[in-house]
Structure 1
């Protein structure tokens, strides 16, 4: 695996690379992260615009400022390009003190190349380790025992079924097998209703494809396949065959290969599609009039599956607090900020106000977000499969999404799907 961010590049202080980055930084406020003022904490985040939890985060930031009047907080906001923006600022030693982002793609390499630091010692020094769910702590810990970031947001990723649309089409029960899903899709199409909507052209399609393939994989087998790009095992081949059978039977919405996550949620929320694989942040956005007749469950199983119950994804790496080398220089301010964000009252507000699942211990439930709460209660009714993000080499991430889009195109055979997935790893 080779990251696009190298130790040599990051350590090239004063080199032509760092110097070349500086003009770009000076002309862009979102990049001019480092503040020389020792009493200013710089936070780089994906929260602050339309991302789920943004209003709660901004309100929390206001409370933190009021509680710490001598400490200024500079908030930098980026969307999906946060990783690239942060890496550019780090090359110029202008990076933020704290970064709020998930463990995925570029960020997998940050601790290895000293773009961020091991936060394990701070978890212990500040007495915050026991606030973290053990599973979350494990997910954020790398092979060398380093904790990449302070865990914060988690997610349940079940399947949402619009029972009103299923009833209209004459589908008596939520499908739990592939045959039942195919039969339901036929009935839904006969009524002009799209069956399963999915963003086949982005990360949502990639995750659903991985989930379906894992129908026939144990956790260890899935970990091997997505770490190495070896999709030749019998279980993987069975999973790909199952996906192709569902796709060619019309289970997915028309032209799913061109849909995005936004189009997917729009189709479900406007009731033009009956089923979607939806992480908890998407479940929180389902309108009340749709949520009241929506049921959450797992992805239906094929014959001879490796699981006993329909599957969902659970993940604890959605957002964490990473500490940068600049942040170490202001560690007393970072400590105040993270203690505040880990406080039970702050955590509870994200759950109550934004419907977020958390990677921290809490007794608060999402009473105003019934589908999020329902997903939390699924328990033994479903089986859990792996989120592949932490195993896929960064260089393979985008090629896998491209391979996914082709895979959702009708007529692409199972052998071609397998070849596409394996080809995504060749540059990794």
Structure 2
């Protein structure tokens, strides 16, 4: 019999919840009333429904699902970045949602282990949906014990966007493909009053770009070891950190990058205040048409002696999945209808066409209305792929790593101090 989630389980998993204090504070919220007693109501806890990319398509899909299943209701609970903590708090009260739509990152890495959600592999097979999932996505969502944490859904391509018009204005004739090219381009851009590379050095976007640059000198197996253990002392990791600090101190990144966020990064690029950004597909989908016309996508420039043949990008399949909770198991027939509907080719195609989302599922649909997303999908042999570290970083190290990232983007911080900051983030893990 599956054991019940305990307060100790959540705290041991690194959630940091002060559950006794949190429950009274949230007692008036819908999140703690999530477990609807109506057996014909599915409760879905999601980050879609407001301004998140794909929200209009998702809400429209729910309307169609309700019309096709008139006796079945869907109740939507919406949270942003705090979804993980809110869900865990509701689970402690045994009032969690039936289905959770969230990425594999930070707190969610521990959910299957502490019985906050269930292994969905048996359902994937019983419902005949395995062939709908891309093999790479299935692998990414499967843990070391062979359990499928959630039904894969959204994926992402994470290339580098280059504003060709701004580069031309600064006299940069070619898209930079090496570190030396990038430094030279940054100098020319700055001379014209244009920020070179904008990045959210104070949040997750900076963390991801820093990890990508460090991997310049790491194979994927070496990168898995580094981000699983926090050991940045290998030759490749040290060379990657030194490459990062060389670029940073040469003025490659926007001024005061250590204080920027993903929002300020996107604003700088979309208003043409900056010429380059590392942009996941959801950000590419929001680039205004007049900027997108002058944007080319490619990889992060290489350094001499790097471990990769081509400039690098990140491709990941863990952006959003459908997790099933213990409460959801009690309504599993209804959950099956919902998942089958969301996996239907016509539903999947609408997310691609209407929202520019990359999917972790098999599909022939292309984001024709989102040219930069489509261009990123076409990137092939001209780029090399590096790891998204999210599934390897221990949950307790996630937020400390973001703090270390801000330190790393602070100009003048030595490579040794960057390494120390990154390694110290793991000490609490």
Q: TM-score, normalised by structure 1?
A: 0.96
Tell me the SS of whatever aligns to 2:381.
helix
Distance 1:364 1:246 in 2: 38
Mapped contact 2:156–2:315 kept (Cα < 8 A): yes
Mapped contact 2:162–2:175 kept (Cα < 8 A): yes
> Is 1:227 paired with 2:228?
yes
Give the CA deviation at 1:25: 4.6
Call closer, same or farther: CA 1:276–1:20 in 2, change over 3 Å: closer
Call closer, same or farther: CA 1:179–1:63 in 2, change over 3 Å: same
User: Which residue of the partner structure matches residue 72 of structure 2?
Assistant: 71
Distance 2:110 2:11 in 1: 12
User: Which residue of the partner structure matches residue 193 of structure 1?
Assistant: 194
Distance 1:212 1:122 in 2: 39
Give the CA deviation at 1:10: 9.4
Mapped contact 2:32–2:93 kept (Cα < 8 A): no
Deviates more, 1:17-26 or 1:263-272: 17-26
Distance 1:9 1:133 in 2: 31
Tell me the SS of whatever aligns to 2:33.
coil
User: Which residue of the partner structure matches residue 58 of structure 1?
Assistant: 59
User: Which residue of the partner structure matches residue 410 of structure 1?
Assistant: 411
Mapped contact 2:7–2:92 kept (Cα < 8 A): no
Tell me the SS of whatever aligns to 1:384.
strand
Please identify runs of 4+ aligned residues in structure 1 that moved more than 2 A. Answer: 4-11, 17-26
Distance 1:249 1:20 in 2: 47
- Describe the superposition over 1:241-282 as per-residue Cα deviations: whole angstroms up to 9, x where unpaired: 000000000000000000000000000000000000000000
User: How do residues 121-270 of structure 1 correspond to structure 2 at under 5 angstroms?
Assistant: 121-270=122-271
User: Which residue of the partner structure matches residue 41 of structure 1?
Assistant: 42
Distance 1:130 1:418 in 2: 42
Give the CA deviation at 1:23: 4.2
User: Which residue of the partner structure matches residue 15 of structure 2?
Assistant: none
Distance 1:249 1:9 in 2: 44
> Is 1:273 paired with 2:274?
yes
Which stretches in structure 1 are left out of the alignment for 5+ residues?
12-16
Give the CA deviation at 1:366: 0.1
Call closer, same or farther: CA 1:407–1:326 in 2, change over 3 Å: same
Mapped contact 1:7–1:113 kept (Cα < 8 A): no
Which stretches in structure 2 are left out of the alignment for 5+ residues?
13-17
Give the CA deviation at 1:404: 0.3
Count of paired positions? 420
User: Which residue of the partner structure matches residue 355 of structure 1?
Assistant: 356
Give the CA deviation at 1:32: 1.7
Give the CA deviation at 1:28: 1.0
User: Which residue of the partner structure matches residue 316 of structure 1?
Assistant: 317
RMSD: 1.6
Give the CA deviation at 1:31: 3.0
Distance 1:109 1:378 in 2: 33
Q: TM-score, normalised by structure 2?
A: 0.96
Distance 2:26 2:55 in 1: 25
